């Protein structure tokens, strides 16, 4: 058992899960592989956290845009018809929630496809009955 003066320095704090400098040294030689693997692991966690943050920012931006568009449609429908605006807002909200549940990153593309399909169906119905 090493004496009190020979223990490696504590680099990670006072918790039970800490890293000591001795884990990267073996008999005076630096363990390059362990040091590099630790650095690569830290870099990977940083990249993954950044990617998650970017995905959340993209989804948040699209939600805000859709909320603004939904509010605009509500005002237009209320001005034109006086009713049914809440139905339109709820239906597009449900469509966006379904797109987000399918894939958060591709939600804008999925919702755009839904909008194009709905517009195509409305145009088809309009041409057929008019």
Q: What is the tens place of the pLDDT at every residue in 21-65?
A: 777 787 778 788 888 888 899 999 999 999 988 888 888 888 888
Model pTM above 0.85: no
Q: What residues have CB less than 8 Å from 69, skipping those under 6 apart? A: 92
**Assigned domain for 88 exists:** yes
**Assigned domain for 15 exists:** no
In whole angstroms, how far apart are CA 49 and each of 42, 52, 53, 93?
11, 5, 6, 28
Q: By residue range, what is the domain housing residue 88? A: 21-129
Domain count, the chain: 1
- In this predicted structure, what is the pLDDT of residue 22? 76
**Assigned domain for 92 exists:** yes
**Assigned domain for 9 exists:** no
> Mean pLDDT for the chain?
75
Q: Are the beta carbons of 11 and 22 closer than 8 angstroms?
A: no
> How far apart, in whole angstroms, are the C-alpha atoms of residue 77 and residue 83?
7
Q: What's the angle, vertex CA 78, arms to CA 74 and CA 81, rounded to 5?
A: 130
- 95: Cα within 13 Å, side-chain hemisphere: 20
């Amino acid at each position: 058992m090493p004496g009190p003066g020979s223990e490696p320095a504590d680099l990670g704090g006072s918790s039970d899960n800490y890293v000591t400098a001795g884990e990267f040294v073996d008999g005076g030689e630096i363990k390059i592989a362990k040091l590099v693997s630790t650095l690569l692991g830290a870099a990977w966690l940083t990249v993954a956290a950044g990617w998650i943050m970017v995905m959340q920012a993209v989804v948040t931006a699209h939600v805000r845009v859709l909320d603004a568009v939904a509010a605009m449609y509500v005002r237009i429908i209320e001005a034109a018809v006086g009713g049914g605006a809440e139905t339109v807002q709820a239906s597009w909200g449900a469509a966006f929630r379904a797109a987000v549940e399918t894939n958060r990153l591709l939600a804008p593309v999925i919702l755009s496809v839904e909008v194009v399909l709905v517009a195509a169906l409305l145009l088809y119905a309009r041409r057929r009955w008019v």
